[in-house]
Structure 1
Amino acid sequence: MSEEVDPVNELKRLADEFADTFSSRLQRILLDAPTFEAVIHPTSSDFSSGRVVVAPLSSHEPMEVREFPLKISRQTRMTLFVRLDCCWDSGQDFLAVDQSYVKVYASGSSEPLFRVEYLRRPDGVPASHVQVHGHRDEWVHLMMFGDRGRPGKRAKRDKVARLSEFHMPTGGHRFRPCVEDILQSLIEEFGIDVNEDWKRAVEEGRAEFRRLQLRSAVRDSPAEAADALVELGYQVVPPTPQPSEKWERLAAH
């Protein structure tokens, strides 16, 4: 990034582009999907390069993220909360996610069925993880409404006290699920109402996310990436000095 460019304003510009692209894709997938906005976080003064929140925001309260409805057979049965806090990557070259929160609620409930979170700087929990809150009965109840989705019986789960406290790791910094993965699960497991082109839009979003993650993974272990390219027949000329491996990223829980 050029020294003449203000890092916060440039981050906001990139986040605006991301929000527009993400909104367009979501509107291809879901009925009545909201528009995502990019807003500079109030605490950006605490970060040398700033932080920008990307989410569907309330018109009543600044920085309040709106849940939006998910319909099953034209009835609102669930709501979805999505918030992505964006920042610069470690080299201040690319837009990165500092924190992300995806929460799925049964309609009318204040506690999510489950949530999928990512923390760039986790404190004692896996960087990417899933937490399940909903009781078995809530899940079974919701699975009764859809007229499509996975056929057959689903395995039952015993009730576990405070199941929501268990953090199930989901791939670390680079191989975590994207929002499109979660949406496809909701579509196939619960039969939520979608647009005709939903699957293509999901696949395009997933492929774009994984390409970006692959680039990041290559920067974490460039020598390993070079070896893989050589095995495919490419000629690779390493720079001098060679970049070191980012062990802390590869080994992160």
Structure 2
Amino acid sequence: MSWFDLRGKAEQFADDLSTLLNNTVCNGIRLRPVIDEHTGVAMIGYNLSNDDLMSKGLPLTLGHKPPSGYLGLMCRLTADDTEGKHLMVVSSFYSFCADRDLSEELLHYDYEREKADAYPEAHLQVSASSPVWERLAAARGLGDMPLAKAHLPVGGRRYRPTVEDMIDFLVTEGLADGHPGWTTHVEAGRDRFMQAQLRAAVRRNPEVALEVLRSKGLC
């Protein structure tokens, strides 16, 4: 594997996230990467340090008003596992919580590459209850399985939800205020993500990309 500047690429990733957040639902926050000395993976969250790898909640407020809630954010990054020269997200976690310590969670998007258990790599969980759900679960012999324990698949590894989707949800539903023009930054971020994922898909499936290009007379 060729030399890979993980810290430099992780710092750029963190800067891009900080810019997105400060242009949409936050004011003056700064995310910085920390390299986990045990795994060699770059970790990005809010107020991380080498002594404390637990991310704190990002306050959702545009000024001096009390936050309407807190955004939990944690990403783990490394070099891609094929060429070793592209930044790869090993896992990401985005939650909406009522408190800074992220203990009062309302929902979260979770992604874990090569997830060890049977649950989908990318999924949504909502901290909610439903008597109808519980009745159906009991009828299926699942016992006490609350709705909050359900892992809802969302797009898979390649086209999973992003922090832009969480921002869109929070502002559109009135759970957070957005800066003027926030949608422009959300859409730009989505475009960058989709392009990066398309490039990754082409690298892993070049024969499919060639097939499409040939069908269009482009090669």
The TM-score, its normalising length taken from structure 2, stands at 0.84
Question: Relative to 1, partners in 2 of residues 1:64 and 1:16: Cα closer, same or farther, differing over 3 Å?
Answer: same
Q: Distance in 2 between matches of 1:211 and 1:158?
A: 41
Q: Is the 8 A contact 1:114 1:131 kept in 2?
A: yes
Question: Relative to 1, partners in 2 of residues 1:95 and 1:72: Cα closer, same or farther, differing over 3 Å?
Answer: closer
Q: Is the 8 A contact 1:111 1:133 kept in 2?
A: no
User: Structure 2: 5+ residue runs without aligned partners?
Assistant: 135-144
Q: Distance in 1 between matches of 2:90 and 2:163?
A: 15
What is the deviation of 1:163? 1.4
Q: Of 74, 79, 87, which aligns to 1:83?
A: 74
Counterpart code for 2:16: T
- 3-state SS in 2 of match to 1:93: coil
Q: Is the 8 A contact 2:27 2:61 kept in 1?
A: no
User: Structure 1: 5+ residue runs without aligned partners?
Assistant: 45-49, 137-156, 236-253
Question: Relative to 1, partners in 2 of residues 1:111 and 1:135: Cα closer, same or farther, differing over 3 Å?
Answer: farther
Question: Relative to 1, partners in 2 of residues 1:92 and 1:60: Cα closer, same or farther, differing over 3 Å?
Answer: closer
Q: Distance in 2 between matches of 1:196 and 1:215?
A: 31
Aligned counterpart, 2:97: 105
Cα displacement string for residues 62-108 of structure 1 (whole angstroms, at most 9, x for unaligned residues): 22311022249944232110000001111211001011111111348
- 3-state SS in 2 of match to 1:43: coil
Matches within 5 A, 1:122-161: 122-123=115-116, 124-135=118-129, 158=132, 160=134, 161=145
Q: Is the 8 A contact 2:25 2:61 kept in 1?
A: no
State how many pairs are aligned.
205
User: What do you get for the CA RMSD once the two structures are aligned?
Assistant: 2.5
Matches within 5 A, 1:1-253: 2=2, 5=3, 7=4, 10-32=5-27, 34-44=29-39, 50-58=40-48, 62-71=52-61, 74-90=65-81, 91-107=83-99, 110-123=103-116, 124-135=118-129, 158=132, 160=134, 161-235=145-219
Question: Relative to 1, partners in 2 of residues 1:222 and 1:70: Cα closer, same or farther, differing over 3 Å?
Answer: same
Identity of aligned residues (%): 29
